[in-house]
């Protein structure tokens, strides 16, 4: 993708719309509120994933409600009128909060991560939800729970959210009673029962890094098996299809916030699957937007159907590369992929 | 299940057949050839899973072809005329072969396990396949590959199998040219593309321990999250349904060799799913047979359909327990499950 910065810059202010009028929303993944101005400059239309971990990591005690409120308000205010998606604390696995005593886990990736951690310390979760709710009165905010594997987990989260709402009401504190509630789809389980989960929430956001890792049972940071980590694996395409079709049938929004969303080669697939939102590191946005504006939704769907018939990563990759070289030679023809 | 040993013993020689004539094959999981006589005495009709690891573990060098041949011949001879399913070396994760230098893996369950290990040392795999092939001339034997996540892995295994066959032919050594080839279904990926994998093999055997672990992203030996390990999770029921329906459509056999196969409460589900073979530790066979002989296939299918509609583990468990208490009060009515 040897294109000039200047040419790319011109895409920042254009809509992420396919030639046949299918509009996508490109958002940014953010670690710190201070990243927002730069993300806006890259053309981000909201935050698809705000990782709230920075508030918790590397300190002895978790942040109180006020400190969280300040951080969420900063990001919501900076991004307004665009929507900000705040993911609740996603620790465990590779992340870690020193305050809580996690014994050494043999397989941390299969351990006390994400929402499991929050449901093991519900008071901590409720404080976070109160802070998010308070900010929801000030600007468009969504809440998203990580590592959901089943319906009872999201129901437990919603019940804590409702407790937080009831508390704030009693205290006379303002919040958005219709705060959109979503979940990360990143366990195979969640993909398999996406239809059941879709009835419980307002939106999905697919975390492809973990989804691929768990579906293929591959730790991609393990050099012995990293070669098996393949976003174009037929099982991954099928999982994505299950997720998107469940979202469509339930009439809820579906986003992708994993690294897969930022790879131009994969865009026809993501467009064909019907993703309404792609969230990525801000610097990737112009490049992705340029490609989106050159792929017809109808082409994406057609290509997807073809790829779903295939049996191996090699077949999928070859076909996709060939198609893209033919369809957009300017962008895909010159590289020797 | 407070039943007398004597009453149970009477089931050993009866077929594992539902009242409406659906015949299952109950087989044993075996670590050592010496376990076969006891398994036969419990009514095992073959070995559904022979773990070949004992030959490799705790020694400095892997066993040569002759040593393996002797072990496989011993088990095949002892079990004849029943079929013996030999699983190729399944190390990694919790198992370990000192000869090969596995660096410390952060998440061994997502690391160099099962067939990945064999495909990283193809010479070792070929020696094992030669030994299995030679025994296939002496009695009914099947070969099964563990931890398959995609079509290209099973194709690579089959190609090494064909090399071994070609070698033996050149050497004038006898083998069964139609040796049945199967795979464990134990990664979510394999469940999701079971239809594609079914075209490549003669049989499936579902390894529920790993399948559940990966689908739910739960290491069940981790005390913090063990509560999430649930065979009755709606996502697991759906995964099993995908696997069984793919097998049925391709006309291949489907077995279960994980611990889930030995739990009487789960049997109506497994019968309803259409499993043709259940393999378990031999002492469980009489108990399972007794229950199989009291559940109609039609009831199993009906109950399965009902359970598949449900959203949570609690709902599935409650409904299943109620149904079983009503249908077979002798077995399920007295326990306070
Ligand atoms: Mg994740
Ligand atoms: Mg296994």
A241 vs B2: which has the higher pLDDT: A241
Q: How far is CA B263 from CA B1, B208, B219, in A?
A: 11, 12, 20
Q: Do A224 and B110 touch (CB under 8 A)?
A: no
pLDDT above 70: residue A5: yes
Q: Check CB contact of B219 with chain A, cutoff 8 Å.
A: yes
Of all ligands present, the nearest one to the C-alpha of B184 is: 2
Residue B102: pLDDT band (50, 70, 90) is: low
Q: Check CB contact of A214 with chain B, cutoff 8 Å.
A: yes
Considering chain A, what percentage of its residues have pLDDT values greater than 90? Answer: 86
Q: How far apart are CA B63 and CA B99, in angstroms?
A: 11
Give the pLDDT confidence score for residue A1 in this predicted structure. 44
Q: Check CB contact of A228 with chain B, cutoff 8 Å.
A: yes
pLDDT above 70: residue B336: no
Residues A304-332: tens digit of each pLDDT: 999 999 999 999 999 999 999 999 998 88
Best residue in A96, A97, A110 for a mutation probing chain B (most B CBs within 10 Å): A110
The burial class, CB within 10 Å (0-12 / 13-18 / 19+), for A102 is middle
pLDDT above 90: residue A98: no
Beta bridge mates, B23: B17
Q: How far apart are CA A128 and CA A131, in angstroms?
A: 5
Count Cβ–Cβ pairs < 8 Å, chain A vs chain B: 187
> Can the peptide bond before residue A81 be classed as cis, meaning omega within 30 degrees of 0?
yes
Q: How far apart are CA A3 and CA A311, in angstroms?
A: 34
Q: Do B235 and A151 touch (CB under 8 A)?
A: no
CB-based contacts of B306, cutoff 8 Å, min separation 6: B319
Q: Measure CA of the first residue to CA of the last residue in chain A; give whole Å.
A: 11
Q: How far apart are CA A114 and CA A100, in angstroms?
A: 13
Return the closest-CA partner of residue B40 out of B82, B87, B3: B82
Residues B185-241: tens digit of each pLDDT: 999 999 999 999 999 999 999 999 999 999 999 999 999 999 999 999 999 999 999
Q: Do A225 and B110 touch (CB under 8 A)?
A: yes
**Average pLDDT for B72-94:** 92
Of all ligands present, the nearest one to the C-alpha of A146 is: 1
Q: Do A216 and B192 touch (CB under 8 A)?
A: no
Best residue in B235, B236, B239, B241 for a mutation probing chain A (most A CBs within 10 Å): B235
Considering chain B, what percentage of its residues have pLDDT values greater than 90? Answer: 86
Evaluate whether A211 touches A233 at the Cβ level (below 8 Å): no
| Shortest Cα distance, chain A CAs vs residue B190, angstroms | 7
The burial class, CB within 10 Å (0-12 / 13-18 / 19+), for B324 is buried
Residue A251 region, left (φ>0) first, then alpha (ψ -120 to 50), else beta? left
Find the DSSP H helices in A100-233: 114-120, 122-136, 151-170, 188-192, 194-198, 208-215
Give the pLDDT confidence score for residue B88 in this predicted structure. 97
**Cα pseudo-dihedral B187, B192, B196, B201, rounded to 10:** 40
**Which residue is listed with tokens 């391709």?**
B250
Of all ligands present, the nearest one to the C-alpha of B185 is: 2
Give the pLDDT confidence score for residue A337 in this predicted structure. 47
Output the CA B186–ligand 2 centroid distance in Å: 6
Evaluate whether A234 touches B151 at the Cβ level (below 8 Å): yes
Give the pLDDT confidence score for residue B337 in this predicted structure. 47
Quick check: helix, strand or coil at residue A100? coil
Q: How far apart are CA B149 and CA B184, in angstroms?
A: 10
pLDDT above 90: residue A83: yes
Return the closest-CA partner of residue B316 out of A214, A157, A196, A185: A196
pLDDT above 70: residue B1: no
Q: How far apart are CA A244 and CA A278, in angstroms?
A: 13
pLDDT above 70: residue B255: yes
| Residue B262 DSSP symbol | G
Residues B300-335: tens digit of each pLDDT: 999 999 999 999 999 999 999 999 999 999 888 765
Return the closest-CA partner of residue B174 out of B165, B185, B183, B163: B165
Evaluate whether A111 touches B225 at the Cβ level (below 8 Å): yes
pLDDT above 80: residue A292: yes
Considering chain B, what percentage of its residues have pLDDT values greater than 70? Answer: 94
Evaluate whether A216 touches B149 at the Cβ level (below 8 Å): yes
- Nearest residue of B to residue A231, measured between CA atoms: B189
Give the pLDDT confidence score for residue A10 in this predicted structure. 81
Evaluate whether B303 touches B320 at the Cβ level (below 8 Å): yes
Chain B residues near residue A101 by CB distance under 8 angstroms:
none
Angle formed by the axes of helices A234-250 and A313-327, to 10°? 70
Considering chain A, what percentage of its residues have pLDDT values greater than 70? Answer: 94
Chain A residues near residue B113 by CB distance under 8 angstroms:
217
Output the CA B115–ligand 2 centroid distance in Å: 10
Name which of B108, B187, B222 is nearest A216 (Cβ-Cβ): B187
Chain A residues near residue B219 by CB distance under 8 angstroms:
105-107, 110-111
pLDDT above 80: residue A275: yes
Q: Which contacts qualify for A243-250: CB closer than 8 Å, 24 or more apart?
A: A243/A185, A243/A190, A243/A191, A243/A194, A243/A204, A243/A206, A244/A273, A244/A274, A244/A275, A246/A194, A246/A195, A246/A197, A246/A198, A247/A194, A247/A198, A247/A203, A247/A204, A247/A274, A248/A274, A249/A195, A249/A198, A250/A195, A250/A198, A250/A199
Q: Check CB contact of A13 with chain B, cutoff 8 Å.
A: no
Q: Do B217 and A222 touch (CB under 8 A)?
A: no
Evaluate whether B187 touches A216 at the Cβ level (below 8 Å): yes
Chain A residues near residue B214 by CB distance under 8 angstroms:
188, 214-215, 217
pLDDT above 70: residue A215: yes
Residue A228: CB atoms within 10 Å = 25
- Restricting to B residues 257-316, those with a Cβ less than 8 Å away from any Cβ of A are 311-314
**Cα pseudo-dihedral A38, A40, A45, A51, rounded to 10:** 30
Q: How far apart are CA A335 and CA A1, in angstroms?
A: 7
Q: Do B192 and A116 touch (CB under 8 A)?
A: no
Residue A65: pLDDT band (50, 70, 90) is: very high
- Nearest residue of A to residue B226, measured between CA atoms: A111
- Restricting to A residues 89-148, those with a Cβ less than 8 Å away from any Cβ of B are 102-103, 105-113, 116, 120, 147
Residue A72: pLDDT band (50, 70, 90) is: very high
Q: Check CB contact of B40 with chain A, cutoff 8 Å.
A: no
Q: What is the mean pLDDT of chain B?
A: 93
| Shortest Cα distance, chain B CAs vs residue A102, angstroms | 9
Chain A residues near residue B218 by CB distance under 8 angstroms:
110, 149
Residue B231 region, left (φ>0) first, then alpha (ψ -120 to 50), else beta? alpha
Output the CA A88–ligand 1 centroid distance in Å: 11
Chain B residues near residue A194 by CB distance under 8 angstroms:
none
Q: What sign has the CA pseudo-torsion B276, B282, B285, B288?
A: negative
Best residue in A102, A192, A308 for a mutation probing chain B (most B CBs within 10 Å): A192
**Average pLDDT for A239-248:** 98
Chain B residues near residue A214 by CB distance under 8 angstroms:
188, 214-215, 217
| Shortest Cα distance, chain A CAs vs residue B322, angstroms | 21
Residue B234 region, left (φ>0) first, then alpha (ψ -120 to 50), else beta? alpha
């Amino acid at each position: 993708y040897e294109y000039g910065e200047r040419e790319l810059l011109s895409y920042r202010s254009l809509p992420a719309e396919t030639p046949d009028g299918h509009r996508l929303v490109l958002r940014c993944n953010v670690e710190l509120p201070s990243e927002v101005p730069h993300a806006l400059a890259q053309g981000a239309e909201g935050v698809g994933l705000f990782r709230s971990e920075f508030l918790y990591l590397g300190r002895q005690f978790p942040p109180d409600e006020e400190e969280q409120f300040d951080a969420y308000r900063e990001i919501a205010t900076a991004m307004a009128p665009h929507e900000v998606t705040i993911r609740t604390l996603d620790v465990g696995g590779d992340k870690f909060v020193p305050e809580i005593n996690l014994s050494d886990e043999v397989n941390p990736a299969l351990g006390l991560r994400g929402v499991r951690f929050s449901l093991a310390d519900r008071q901590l979760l409720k404080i976070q939800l109160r802070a998010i709710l308070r900010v929801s009165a000030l600007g468009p905010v969504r809440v998203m729970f990580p590592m959901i594997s089943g319906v009872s987990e999201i129901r437990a989260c919603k019940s804590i959210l409702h407790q937080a709402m009831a508390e704030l009401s009693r205290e006379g504190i303002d919040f958005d009673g219709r705060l959109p509630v979503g979940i990360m789809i990143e366990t195979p389980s969640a993909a398999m029962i996406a239809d059941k989960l879709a009835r419980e929430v307002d939106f999905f956001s697919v975390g492809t890094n973990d989804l691929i890792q768990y579906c293929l049972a591959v730790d991609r940071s393990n050099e012995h098996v990293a070669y098996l980590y393949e976003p174009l694996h037929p099982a991954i395409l099928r999982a994505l299809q299950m997720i998107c079709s469940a979202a469509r049938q339930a009439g809820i929004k579906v986003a992708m916030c994993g690294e897969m969303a930022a790879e131009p080669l994969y865009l026809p697939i993501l467009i064909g699957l019907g993703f309404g939102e792609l969230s990525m590191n801000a610097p990737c946005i112009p490049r992705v937007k340029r490609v989106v504006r050159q792929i017809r939704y109808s082409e994406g769907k057609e290509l997807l159907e073809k790829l779903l018939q295939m049996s191996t990563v090699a077949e999928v990759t070859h076909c996709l590369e060939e198609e893209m070289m033919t369809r957009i030679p300017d962008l895909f023809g010159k590289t020797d992929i």
